[in-house]
Every structure is written in C-alpha cells, then in structure tokens.
Amino acid sequence: MTEKCLITNMQRFSTNDGPGIRTLVLCVGCNLKCKWCHNPETIPMHNTVFWKSALCVQCGLCIESCPEEAIRPPIPVEEARAEESAYHKIERSKCTDCMKCVEVCDFDALAPVGKMLTVDEVLDEVMRDKLFYKNSGGGLTLGGGEPTMHPKFMLELFQKAKEEGLHICLDTNGTAPWKVYEQTLPFVDFYLVDMKNMDTELHKLGTGAGNEKILENIKKLSEVGAKIIIRVPVMYDYNDTAENFEQMGEFLKGLPNPVHRLDLLPFHNWCQNKYNWMGIYWPLIEEENMDPIECEDFKEILETYGINCTIGG
C-alpha cells in the first residue's frame, strides 16, 4: 500500500533548496504559524481553494454550484481585478472546501491548492529530471508545509527515492519529535533547518512556538553527523539584530560538528498573491523587500564564528 499526501506543488528546476537542480515537493500542513510564511496555502492540513482574480471572468457559474452559499455574486471584471479591490469571490467563513466550485470553473480561476498523490505518483514526476540531477548534483527536496507531519508518506518516499539513487534534502522547521528525524537518517543527504530567532519568546511571537525543540533537534542531528544547512529568514524589526546573530553563531559553534552552511534569506513579499487568492489579509504586504546588502553585517558576524554563510543561498 503506497502512502498518500496532499501535495501543493512539485516545482521542477528548483535551485534554491539544496545543491544543484532539484525538484521541490511541497506537502500541506504546518505546525508553526510564521507571520512571514511564503506558502500560506500549505499551513492548513486540508485542501483549500485559491481564487485568482486575474483569471476570473465573473461568469457566476460557481454560485450555482455552491451548496453552502459561500460564493459572492459577480461584479464587473475590472472592478474585481483593480489593485485596491476588497472583493473576494469566496466567503471563507461559510466555505467547507468541498471543491464543487472548482469543478465548474472553466477558467481555472478557482483552483484547489493541492492534489492528493501517492508516493509513486510523486516519484514518477520527480524521476523525470534525473538527468538534470546527475549533471548538477541535485535531486529531491521535500518541503512544505512541514513534511515531518506526514512521517509515513515521507519515509516511504525517501526509501523509494534512495533506491533510485536520488540525492535527498529534507526541508524542515525542526520541530518534529527526534524519533521522526532519526528514522530519516539513512536516507537524507542534507537537512535544511530553519532558525528564526534565538530568543525563544520572540520565536514564539513570530511562529507560535518556542525554539527549544528546534535547537535540540539541530544539536542531535549534528551529534549523529548529519549534514545540515541552516536557513534564516531575515525580517525587519524581528530578528535583524547583531545580538541575535551573535547568539546564533555561538550556538552553532558549540555544535559537535560544524553545519555545512548557513543561508541568510532577506525578506521579500513575492508571495502576496497567494494571500490574496486565499482571501487573507497579510499585514506584511506593505513591508518592503529587504535589500540583500542589509544582511552583510550579519554575515560578517556569523563568519567570525567560522560559519560558512551566504546571502540568498
């Protein structure tokens, strides 16, 4: 019996999630609620509906299909597409994500965020680019959401991918129970682990959970000699302080084995469409993209601790 998982995207030719050219497979469901999350559609554990205003012709077919009366009546297309428009097709409080409206939409304006796929289906798609992996040292990266929330699916996928000789990265927020990570050790070549803030209170404020478990898991991964790439999303007025990066350097320096690399990821708001499609107001939409140059100081700090650091990966 092959395991299934709700997959939102299989992004081929991904180059920022581990070495070389990779296919990034994104699972739904995440136990953290990061304010800056770039894949908001992967936070819930269930499927939801995107409404893409740019594709919607306001034909009204979806109204008739909706058993919950959660669809708002059409308005003129230009009005709906206007930048300042507050109109959203779906009344989310009523919507049960039954997907009936998706079935009748001819223009792909209403689309499910994910699709339930078996391990074999995922692997079939991933294997199509094996030539590119071979030439670039790339492979499969499993991310999300938080893939460790689907341990059975994840392990079966890793096992089969390993049998195919694939290079495997696990992109995780670091919060899973250690025994979950322990089971992945024979398969995973690189762990991509996020570190958001060294101050656990601030960590909780930004993500909904403290950082203790994450730091503990990083330590354990290091102890067993796993290769780790730390990824730090750098946010204005949240973790962009010298103190934070000094503490981070101190922590990483104290690990039994050095991490392979640390990537500073300057904040950007390119994901704002996804929030709009979900009808969610995202406070950070007004926030300006961070110029990578603003991370230079933090990079220097981390380098004084002997850490191999990049901006942007």
Q: Among 128, 152, 204, 219, which residue interacts with other proteins (rule: CB under 8 A)? A: 128
| Matching residue, tokens 């590119």 | 132
- CB-count exposure of residue 237 (10 Å: 0-12, 13-18, 19+): exposed
The type of residue at 64 is E
Per rule CB under 8 A, is residue 178 in the interface with other proteins? no
270-to-57, 166, 288 alpha-carbon distances in Å: 24, 30, 10
* Element spanning 39, H or E: none
**106 binds other proteins, rule: CB under 8 A:** yes
Residue 211: count other Cβ atoms within 10 Å of its Cβ. 24
Residue 11 near other proteins by CB under 8 A: yes
CB atoms within 10 A of CB 295: 23
Q: In angstroms, rounded to a whole number, what is the distance separating the alpha carbons of residues 294 and 283?
A: 22
In the stretch 294-313, what mask flags binding to other proteins with x, by CB under 8 A? Answer: ------------------x-
Choosing from 107, 224, 254, 308, the residue that interacts with other proteins (CB under 8 A) is 107
**CB-wise, 46 or 115, nearer to other proteins?**
115
Q: Least CB distance from residue 202 to other proteins, whole Å? A: 30
Instruction: Enumerate residues 6+ apart whose C-beta is below 8 A from 259.
Output: 218, 222, 228, 229, 230, 252, 307, 308
Report the nearest approach of other proteins to the CB of residue 261 (Å): 12
C-beta closer to other proteins: residue 88 or 268: 268
Q: Which is nearer to other proteins, 57 or 285 (CB)?
A: 57
Stretch that binds other proteins, among 101-109, 162-170, 235-243, 248-256 (CB under 8 A): 101-109
Based on the shown chain and the rule CB under 8 A, indicate whether residue 108 belongs to the binding site for other proteins. Answer: yes
Q: How far apart are CA 222 and CA 22, in angstroms?
A: 24
Which pairing describes strands 167-172 and 49-51: parallel, antiparallel, or unpaired? unpaired
Angstrom distances, CA of residue 201 to CA of 143, 206, 212: 25, 9, 10
126 Cα distance to chain centroid: 18
Which x/- pattern over 130-169 shows residues binding other proteins (rule: CB under 8 A)? Answer: -xx-xxxxx-------------------------------
199 touches other proteins (CB under 8 A) = no
Query: Of 3, 4, 20, 246, which lies in the binding site for other proteins, with binding defined by CB under 8 A?
Result: 20
Question: Is 188:168 a contact under the CB 8 Å cutoff?
Answer: yes
Per CB under 8 A, does 117 bind other proteins?
A: no
Q: Is 237 in the site for other proteins (CB under 8 A)?
A: no
Q: What is the dihedral of CA 75, 76, 81, 87, to 10 degrees?
A: -20
- Using CB under 8 A, which of the segments 81-89, 124-132, 170-178, 222-230 binds other proteins? 124-132
Q: CB nearer to other proteins: give 52 or 134.
A: 134
- Interface stretch with other proteins, choices 14-22, 39-47, 159-167, 254-262 (CB under 8 A): 14-22
219 touches other proteins by CB under 8 A: no
Q: Which residues bind other proteins (CB under 8 A)?
A: 11-13, 15-16, 20-21, 57, 106-108, 128-129, 131-132, 134-138, 312
